[in-house]
A and B are shown apart, each in its own frame.
Chain A
Amino acid sequence: MTTPMQSLGRAAPAARGHQIAETLSRFRGAAIAAVILVVFGVTSIKNSSFAGSGSIQEILTGSSLFILLAVGETVVIVTRNVDLSVGSTLGLSAFEIGELYVHHPHMSVFVALLVGLGIGAACGAVIGFITTVFRVPSLVVTLAALYIIRGYVNIIGSGVQIEPTSVPHSFVSIGYSSILGIPWLFVIVAGVALIAAYGMRNFRAGRELYAIGSNPDAAQLAGIPVARRVFGAFVISGALAGLAGALFLAEYATVDATGGTGYELIVIASVVIGGVAIFGGSGNVIGALLGAILLQIINQSLVAVSVSPFWDQAIAGALLLTAIAFDRLLGFRASRALRAKEGAAYVG
């Protein structure tokens, strides 16, 4: 028979290992923030002008659209689904708002943003409906949606370019003006991200998204309205992509049928770098936000230290692989520690 002392002695190091793993994974956000700061610091040392407010603003503005898309993508991926249609939805929304401005130059900014949200939510609703009612894999449905929406934008907008002159000044100013030195674009997306982070952490529906992603069958048996929640996740993702479309137009003041092409994989990369598990059930919006900022700051700092910007993608890819390999390592440790702890508990 083991004495309490012995079992304590055996459990202690394992439990500590587990705690370390848990703490590390919980502070994934802090880790990425640290990397961001390191990149920023090193770049500033090499090029002092990088530390100025100008380049910070540039980084925040540049990452805004991707943050918004990453927030929506997080909500979907946490439920063990994926949304590949965000880039196309962004393009559709940006182009439609531009068209509206061509015909109604006096449309208010507020209405424009609402139109963007509405277009995106409608796309998301159709995708969510097909995915949940017909129970077809979201990867396929959203891949099809990517093609259909992009094709549609090309049909209505082939050869058309929304000129900066047709977009009113009040709308474009969202794209470049700032408040207290922080770009409006970033204020908007940070607000959305904070709301989403709070909702996913504290609301019942938000917690249920994690339950669904961890184990869909168990979630269903536990009485969670799985189909409704997944539908909702796609509507949110679509709506945010639509809003991102509006902000795209505000930022660039011009758009053609190709706006947002190829964004989907960048968005998924930032989400995964931000610690969201690709098979659902864990991760949060703040991590995704930091992931998007990290990719952006790497991009800009390469320019600042006059390394060829061609390295950008190679580094981003290596970063993504490192991030998931790191996750895996933590997972191994955590599960080993957990097993050891449980074993000790039985003995004790």
Chain B
Amino acid sequence: MSAETVSGTPAAGPAKGAKASPVDWLGSLRRWELALVLLFGATLVFGASQSGAFITTTTLFYAGLNMGQIAIMALPLTLIVITGEIDLSVAAMLGLSCTVFGYAFAHGIDIYLAALIALSVGVVGGSLNGFLVTRLGLPSIAVTIGTLTMFRGIAEVIIGQQEATGFPTSLTAIGVTPIPGTKIAWTFGIFLALAIIYGGVLHMTPIGRSLYAIGLNRDTAFFSGIRVNRIKFTLYVLSGFVCAFVGILYALQNDASRYDAGLGLELNVVAVVLFGGVSIFGGRGTIMGVVVSVLVVGAFTDALTLINVSAEAQNVVFGVLLLVSVLVPNGADGYNRLRRRLRRGRSGAPPGSPAPVAAVAEGPAA
């Protein structure tokens, strides 16, 4: 049961336009993505007005370079969040894979074999998450906080405070030069290509659609013949694999492999996904929304950097955007409730007024 359906129920008179109906959901979804697109446009205008250096190909390249890794990890996470689960171990898996890759390479293993080992680590780590969540039925938020700590810890054990470097320049070039013939950074190009695949699978295949069914009502999905556990398990493996891949990209892009690669990025990735309009309760969200969210955040970051707002101070803007993304869909409801409560407070609470249920947000990824 999601908060949307619950909080929508009491107010769902015909006069209100039945906010809880699925058709309107679609409408509000489209509105949120439209809002994001408009925001993206506004950011471009704002950036261009602030600095002549904003709309240039160099800026485009660096913006893509900065956002690429977060963006790629956001894709599998989007699918996981749509099924109503969460994966907080993404950045730690990046760090672990980056470490394994660098460590293997530094010990004379062929670089492609090293990459293969790192990717296998991703699959194993993802399977561990998937096993604990689907077979043992443990809450994914607690599981992935555990594996987050563990993956990062193992990376630290492997390489300590050292740094592996000296990758072949032909490969580290992805951190310096764009894709030939374009001005797009390699990581960002990979993100766009993957986004098309993810979007196709999520929105156009039965498997993809079944993710929504799982997120909206796990039991109904199960009784409709959807293999809930197998799908969730596969998604965690996919997430581990993709994050391991990003770890390799990180090592090459920076020509450095350290255990603290991507430290703390998990919350950024979650924020990008949620900002893209994906509901933390599952069952709602689109790849398109996440792509636009990546664009907005990337453009914003860049514009603010150009006018010398420090990366840390930019967090304020980021946080406000995230807050807005959940307040806008719920804003009108909340305002009405507040007014009602204030009125009731003045005139004494009328007994038996139908108090809407579920004032509690239903926990993390309930």
Contact = CB atoms under 8 A, between A and B. Distances in A.
Interface of A: 79-82, 84, 130-141, 143-152, 154-155, 158, 212, 216-217, 220-221, 226-227, 230, 257, 261-262, 265, 268-269, 272, 278-280, 308, 310-318, 320-321, 324-325, 328
A76 to B, nearest CB: 11
B359 A227 contact: yes
24 contacts: A82-B141, A130-B327, A135-B333, A137-B281, A139-B361, A143-B271, A144-B326, A146-B267, A147-B316, A150-B312, A151-B312, A152-B316, A216-B357, A226-B360, A262-B263, A268-B145, A278-B142, A279-B139, A308-B160, A316-B150, A317-B146, A317-B149, A320-B150, A325-B132
Given A147-B316, A280-B363, A325-B132, A316 B322 contact: no
Main secondary structure of the interface of B (DSSP, over half): helix
Nearest to A148: B319
Contact of B157 (A134, A135, A226, A314): A314
A313 B330 contact: no
A317 B327 contact: no
B28 interface: no
A314 B334 contact: no
A314 B154 contact: yes
Nearest to A221: B357
Contacts of B137: 328
A81 B363 contact: yes
A140 B280 contact: yes
B310 A158 contact: yes
A135 B356 CA distance: 11
Nearest to A139: B364
Interface range, B side? 35 or more
Main secondary structure of the interface of A (DSSP, over half): helix
A218 B327 CA distance: 26
Contacts of B312: 150-151, 154, 158, 257
A147 B319 contact: yes
A312 B326 contact: no
Contacts, number: 211
B147 interface: yes
Which of B136, B142, B323 gathers most chain A CB within 10 Å? B142
Contact of A135 (B88, B141, B264, B358): B358
Contacts of B267: 84, 143, 146
Contact of B366 (A80, A143, A146, A315): A80
Contact of B337 (A82, A133, A272, A316): A133
B313 A321 contact: no
Contacts of B157: 308, 310-311, 314
Contacts of B314: 151
B363 A80 contact: yes
B360 A324 contact: no
Given A147-B271, A151-B319, A268-B145, A82 B333 contact: no
A300 B270 CA distance: 32
A135 B330 contact: yes
Given A143-B322, A313-B156, A321-B150, A134 B358 contact: no
Which of A79, A217, A317 gathers most chain B CB within 10 Å? A317
A313 B334 contact: no
A144 B136 contact: no
A39 B280 CA distance: 39
A324 B142 CA distance: 8
B19 interface: no
B177 interface: no
A278 B319 contact: no
B316 A155 contact: yes
B217 interface: no
A154 B310 CA distance: 8
B361 A138 contact: yes
A226 B3 CA distance: 15
A145 B319 contact: yes
A231 B362 CA distance: 14
B334 A151 contact: no
